[in-house]
Amino acid sequence: MSHQRDEPVARAAPAPGEPDSAPGEQPGSAPGSAPGEQPGAATPRVRQLAALSVFGVGVGLVAGLGASLFIKIEHSLTEALWTDLPEALGYESTPGWLAAVLLVTGALIVFGASKMPGHGGHPPLEGLAVNIGPREGISVIIAALGTLSFGAVLGPEAPLMAIGSALGALAVRNPNSPVRMVMMLAGAMAGIGAIFGNPLITAMLLLEVAVMTGPRMANPAVLLTSLASLAAGYTLQVGFGSWSGLGETELGIPGLPDYPEVVPIDLVTALPLAIAVAAVSMAARLVAERVDTQARRRPLATIVLAAVAIGLSAIVAAEITGGSLDLVLFSGDEAIPEYFAFTSVGLLAVVLLAKFVAFTLSLGSGFRGGPIFPAVALGAILAAMASLLVSGTSIAALSAAAIAAAVAASVRLPFLATLMAVLLTASAGGATTVPAIIGTIVGILARMQAEKKYDTLAVSRPPV
């Protein structure tokens, strides 16, 4: 796989005009030193870090509020387009032709945003990013709404980080200040925390990205400021004192059976299941790379044709299964209980194929969003199939293994993958941690092996 695509999930590249020094330090200073501080000056360093943390609280409040406002707007627009509009037209549910029209309309909106400063944000194949400034933020919001509210199969994590990054940049307007990047990252953490809910997930994302990136991010200026920002953003969700807050996002799959202890048959099944999930996740990425090649050559035609194909996939799956268009459209995490309600492996296979097609086209054709939640949905579908094929297995344990494998293969962050799987299946019991770890290991190894083969074959994108 090309080196551009193999970057960590979050990229802390300098913003335009930003010096290539680590966040929170002057060029040539020791890692973690405050701006203008001589190495070894302990007292000023502590005071400076304390000041940055307090500043991070303010950034977290603003970024968390901005992210929550975006989520509310996105949900309201989705409700208006997919519920209110069909009812106004006399339909009880969204007809297939309207779904196709909405997807094409969204594609045109995203294409228009790509012509604005910022180009609608980074393509989802490039991972999440924290170098979006205020000037680029408007195009990111427009492209994200055109993607998420109009039915494309991507998640909200990337635009939320971008929104937080842009609001963090507003706190330090000087593009040459090394503190600016610290605040952009702090804002991004508060932004994505609005959808992850439990701050432990976002904190794990921060730590893993810091470890993978090295001294540029793994220093007290970045970590402490980002944690302060994350705490402030989460306070907005849960409330403060007599104020009940904006409402907490709770990650979790409802209705899972209890899983108080590890059962051997689940572990035996979890291994091949995780391999299958990782293979599907990597296949989706590789196919999306090919779609991306065409999108770079003919962006408008590719994204419009992809929108039509996504709509057709959803229509065909709904007709065959008797389910709703939501089985295929959108990120898919809210449809997981519907996947688990199926009693036919054949019908689940239809949903899996349709979701795979819709995800790969959304991932590579030019839509803007994140890959994490659609990958979770693919893992959940495969877990449901495995539970039907192997009697005596627990859907809770298989879900944990499949979700962890999907996230690990998608973003290469093992602890984030494990934590997401455990929290999503937490209602079943803590024993799901064991199959989740198995899924994570398999997902990471599969991603590494796929990248090794890709590089060995020297497969590269044809020149545009």
State pLDDT tens for residues 317-329.
Answer: 999 999 999 999 9
Q: What is the pLDDT of residue 125?
A: 86
Give me the chain's average pLDDT, please.
84
Per-residue pLDDT band for 199 (boundaries 50, 70, 90) equals confident
The stretch 387-396 carries a mean pLDDT of 94
Residue 304, pLDDT above cutoff 90: yes
Residue 367, pLDDT above cutoff 60: yes
Q: Which residues contact 147 (CB under 8 A, 6 or more apart)?
A: 106, 110, 154, 362, 367, 368, 369
Q: What is the pLDDT of residue 215?
A: 63
Per-residue pLDDT band for 362 (boundaries 50, 70, 90) equals very high
Residue 141, pLDDT above cutoff 90: yes
The stretch 293-304 carries a mean pLDDT of 94
Residue scoring higher pLDDT (455 or 412):
412
The stretch 86-112 carries a mean pLDDT of 94
The stretch 169-178 carries a mean pLDDT of 80
Q: How confident is the model over 63-93, as pLDDT tens digits? A: 989 989 999 999 999 999 999 999 999 998 8
Q: What is the pLDDT of residue 83?
A: 94
Q: Report pTM.
A: 0.85
Q: How confident is the model over 212-226, as pLDDT tens digits? A: 666 666 677 788 888
Q: What is the pLDDT of residue 23?
A: 43
The stretch 428-449 carries a mean pLDDT of 91
Q: What is the pLDDT of residue 171?
A: 83
CB 155 within 8 A of CB 196: no
Range name among 157-171, 209-223, 231-245, 374-388 with the lowest pLDDT average: 209-223
Per-residue pLDDT band for 108 (boundaries 50, 70, 90) equals very high
Per-residue pLDDT band for 121 (boundaries 50, 70, 90) equals confident
Q: What is the pLDDT of residue 454?
A: 52
Residue scoring higher pLDDT (123 or 197):
123
Q: What is the pLDDT of residue 453?
A: 59
Q: How confident is the model over 242-253, as pLDDT tens digits? A: 777 777 677 788
The stretch 261-285 carries a mean pLDDT of 93
Name the percent of the chain lying above pLDDT 70: 86
